[in-house]
């Protein structure tokens, strides 16, 4: 998510829309005069191929299963235009089964050869599955910190097919 909006200050000549699931972080970004929405990475409120670029900073590792991580990557691929750029960062250095010795790690990623949204997402899924191991599923954790009561959840969330689904909304000025 956009968090408190610290990366939204970069390049004032570009239109940026920040999204975060945490209401308090989105409000903090809005207080810095950024265009911000509260929504979930698994259901972004944007048309297919509507962005030139997307940043996913410290989000993907919060999804507890490979399936949810793939869904999040598919959703990011869906909103990118053909030829769009995606930057993803993750933090998970505390896992016992990690393969990396330092925090400065570049994981190779190969650009998909297909051009449609569905094909891009399939390529992302293949690449993700080829870089994960069975050990990745041994340690599942959630690193969510809520600074207020769950009243935001009841106000902004809804249930669909028995699962909680976050509704997106713009932060009021």
Instruction: Specify the CATH number for the domain of residue 118.
Output: 3.40.50
Q: What's the farthest any 2 CA atoms get from each other in the chain?
A: 46
pLDDT for residue 100: 59
pLDDT for residue 37: 95
Coil, strand or helix at 116: coil
Range of the domain at 49: 6-170
Question: Given phi > 0 = left and psi -120 to 50 = alpha, else beta, which region is 162?
Answer: left
The whole-angstrom separation of Cα 117 and Cα 119 is 5
Q: Let me know if residue 72 belongs to a domain.
A: yes
pLDDT for residue 148: 37
Q: Let me know if residue 1 belongs to a domain.
A: no
Q: Let me know if residue 96 belongs to a domain.
A: yes
User: Where would I find the beta strands (DSSP E) of the chain?
Assistant: 18-20, 36-38, 51-57, 80-89, 157-160, 163-166, 169-170
What DSSP state is assigned to residue 153?
Answer: H
The whole-angstrom separation of Cα 157 and Cα 9 is 29
Ranges of the chain whose pLDDT falls below 50: 104-109, 115, 117, 120-167
pLDDT for residue 138: 33
The whole-angstrom separation of Cα 86 and Cα 73 is 10
When divided into structural domains, the chain yields a total of 1
Six-digit token pair at 89? 């960062």
Q: Let me know if residue 144 belongs to a domain.
A: yes
Q: Let me know if residue 156 belongs to a domain.
A: yes
pLDDT for residue 96: 63
The whole-angstrom separation of Cα 22 and Cα 142 is 14
pLDDT for residue 113: 57
Six-digit token pair at 116? 């449609």
Residue in 171, 162, 157 with CA at minimum distance from that of residue 43: 157
How many helices (H) and strands (E) the chain has is answered by: 4, 7
């Amino acid at each position: 998510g956009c968090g408190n909006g610290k990366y939204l200050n970069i390049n004032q000549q570009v239109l940026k829309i920040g999204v975060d699931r945490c209401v308090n972080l989105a409000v903090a970004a809005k207080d810095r005069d950024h265009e911000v929405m509260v929504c979930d990475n698994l259901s972004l409120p944007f048309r297919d191929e509507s962005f030139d670029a997307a940043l996913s900073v410290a989000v993907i590792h919060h999804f507890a299963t490979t399936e949810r991580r793939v869904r999040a990557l598919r959703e990011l691929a869906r909103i990118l235009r053909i030829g769009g750029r995606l930057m993803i960062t993750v933090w998970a250095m505390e896992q016992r089964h990690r393969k990396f010795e330092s925090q400065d790690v570049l994981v190779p990623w190969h650009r998909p050869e297909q051009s449609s949204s569905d094909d891009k997402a399939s390529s992302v899924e293949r690449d993700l599955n080829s870089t994960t191991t069975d050990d990745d599923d041994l340690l599942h954790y959630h690193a969510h910190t809520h600074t207020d009561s769950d009243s935001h959840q009841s106000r902004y969330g809804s249930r669909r097919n028995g699962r909680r689904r976050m509704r997106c909304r713009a932060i009021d000025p």
